[in-house]
Structure 1
Amino acid sequence: MSVLLLRLAGPLQSWGSAARFTRRTTENAPTKSGVIGLLAAAQGRRRDADLTDLAALEFGVRVDQPGTRLRDFQTAHHSDTLKAMPLSERFYLADAVFVAGVSGDPGLVQRLYEALLEPVFLPYLGRRSCPPSRPVTVAEPLDGELEPALREAPWEASGWYRNHRAASFRRRGVPSPDEVRLDLLLDSPPDPDRLPDITLRDLPLSFDARHRRYGLRGVRTTETRVPVAAGAARPSPPPHEPTALLTPVTPRTD
């Protein structure tokens, strides 16, 4: 088995599993359908393409930075008749960071990794209005199982979040721990002796716009501890002044 880890970070993300009509909600973590859609788009698969091989991949997510839920109230009009369309609510996760992973046949996983390096269609985080802020690929595919890979991956939280977390401990007068506790969401195969912790309808069967179809997927929830120093804090961006190189214009005196 081979594992491909993905860094899903951006200003906004939205991962719907039960979003319908005028109320488009988001789950608290990336869905399997959303990540499979990202991978299929990177490979250039059309919406009516077969997804059997991608849907069979084992899937898991680690919540490195949970983000904040954001609600957007939208209005729109038809461009030709200016007739008002129904009002809608769109929900997003702001400033969230996740490490997602898929596991399966080494050949398929390698092809997915190569597709992400040169995607046919640009990746986005659940909706086309949510581009990633950092490269999606974390590293080359790894040999082994998915759960240990997610547990051992470095912490990918942003620098400001690390500082905010450390400051919260200082305000309470306690030392910041050396480890951070992160939630894990993993595929839960059907088992008559154990029910899944969560059930989501996010197993992609078809992305065809004429008839999108999704199956039920069991999810097992657990947690892991990751060393705080395992993921180096991202440096602050360099100063950026776009007008600094422009030649100043001397005002006319006549």
Structure 2
Amino acid sequence: MSVLTLKLAGPLQSWGATARFARRSTESAPTKSGVVGLLAAALGVARDDDAALAQLARLRFAVRIDQPGTRIRDFQTARDPDTGESMPLSERYYLADAVFLAAVAGEDPLVTRLHEALLRPVYLPYLGRRSCPPAHPVELGVHPGDDPAGVLGAEPWRASEWYQLRRGGEQHVTLTLLGEAAAGTASPGAVLRDQPLSFAPRHRRYALRPVHTSTVTVSNPRARTPRPAPAQDVPAQRIAAHDPTSHLDPA
């Protein structure tokens, strides 16, 4: 078993788990279905290849929020290409200036294939939507083990430099970590309809997936060095006893 880590950062991201019709929302962190879709695109898997998707869906998944970003809303209009009639106004949400670390764990041959595919992807990866390209290559490397959350807990803080400087007064920062919960361990309501079953355009299907939320503490590489404590005042009696000419011979 091994773990593949990814850095998901870009000007805009959008990870919808409940997007329907004219309102396309985004979760506060990348979804498993979105990351599996990114990996499938890198491999060149067809959207209707449910067998290949099932293999990827069995990967264990975790994500860490290194920089939460800002949620923004956009309105989009469109016209029917055949009739020219206006389509309903579409309301879409994005995360701006966000940075996440994601990890998937699986059998060594599959994880190696995914790592190689990300280095030479068949289809370019995107961050939830095709309009959201990553700012840089997403792959970070392969690690031994079978616990994606544990690997993410040991990763250095990868937020943007300006964001780390903004929190320069903190030597350590606490980050949210979202992992896949074992059966019966998720808190009530901590589920997402995010387990991919089919990406076929005519019958996309997702199952519920339990989510376990925890936190990890990492060092801030751009923390400001604490200033030394000011020197204490010299007692008045010591000042009065000092004579700078005491070492001179009398004239």
**TM-score bracket relative to the smaller structure:** 0.7 to 0.9
8 A Cα contact 1:155 1:230, kept in partner: no
Taking structure 1 as reference, are residues 94 and 16 closer, same or farther at Cα in structure 2, changes over 3 Å only? Answer: same
1:245 matched to which residue of 2? none
CA RMSD of aligned residues (A): 1.5
- In the other structure, the counterpart of 1:106 is 108
Equivalent position of 2:212 in the other structure? 220
Residue 185 of structure 1, CA deviation: 0.2
Q: Is 1:135 aligned to residue 137 of structure 2?
A: yes
Q: How does 1:114-153 map to 2 (within 5 A)?
A: 114-139=116-141, 141-144=142-145, 145-153=147-155
Task: Tell me the CA shift for residue 177 of structure 1.
Answer: 2.2
1:154/1:230 contact within 8 Å kept: no
Q: 1:75 to 1:185 in 2, by over 3 A?
A: same
Q: TM-score, normalised by structure 1?
A: 0.83
Relative to structure 1, is the Cα distance of residues 196 and 117 closer, same or farther in structure 2, using a 3 angstrom cutoff? farther
Aligned residue for 2:198?
206
Q: Counterpart amino acid of 1:27?
A: E
Question: Shift of the alpha carbon at 1:230?
Answer: 9.0
Q: 1:194 to 1:160 in 2, by over 3 A?
A: closer
Write the distance in 1 (CA, Å) between the matches of 2:214 and 2:43.
Answer: 31
1:75–1:87 contact (8 Å) kept in structure 2: yes
The residue type equivalent to 1:36 in the other structure is V
Equivalent-residue separation in structure 2 for 1:136 and 1:165 (angstroms): 25
Q: State, as a whole percentage, how many aligned pairs show the same letter.
A: 58
Aligned partners of 2:202, 2:81: CA distance in 1, in Å? 23
Q: Distance in 1 between matches of 2:88 and 2:149?
A: 43
Q: Deviations over 1:60-108 (max 9, x none)?
A: 0000000000000111112343210011100000000000000011111
CA–CA separation in structure 2 for the residues paired with 1:32 and 1:106? 19
Structure 1 residue matching 2:127: 3-state secondary structure: coil
Correspondence 1:39-118 to 2 at 5 A: 39-49=39-49, 50=51, 51-118=53-120
1:20-71 CA distance string (max 9 Å, x none)? 0000000000000000000000000000112111111100000000000000
Q: Which has the larger radius of gyration?
A: 2
Rounded to whole Å, the distance in 2 between the matches of 1:132 and 1:90 is 19
- 1:6–1:138: 8 Å Cα contact kept in structure 2? yes
* Alignment match of 1:178 (pick from 171, 177, 181): 171
Deviations 1:115-174 (A, max 9, x none): 0000000000000000000210112x11022222100111110111112222xxxxxxxx
Question: Per the alignment, do residues 147 and 226 of structure 1 end up closer, same or farther by CA in structure 2, a change over 3 Å counting?
Answer: same
* Cα distance in 2 between the residues matched to 1:99 and 1:45: 23
Amino acid at match of 2:192: L
Aligned to 1:111, what secondary structure does the other structure show? Answer: helix
Do the aligned partners of 2:196 and 2:206 also contact (CA within 8 Å) in 1? yes
Q: Does the CA contact (< 8 Å) of 2:63 and 2:149 recur in 1? A: no
3-state secondary structure, aligned to 1:124: coil
Corresponding residue of 1:3: 3
Distance 2:155 2:98 in 1: 17
> SS of 2:167's equivalent?
helix
Seen in structure 2, the aligned counterparts of structure 1 residues 94 and 194 have a Cα distance that, compared at 3 Å, is closer
Distance 2:170 2:87 in 1: 51
- SS of 1:215's partner is strand
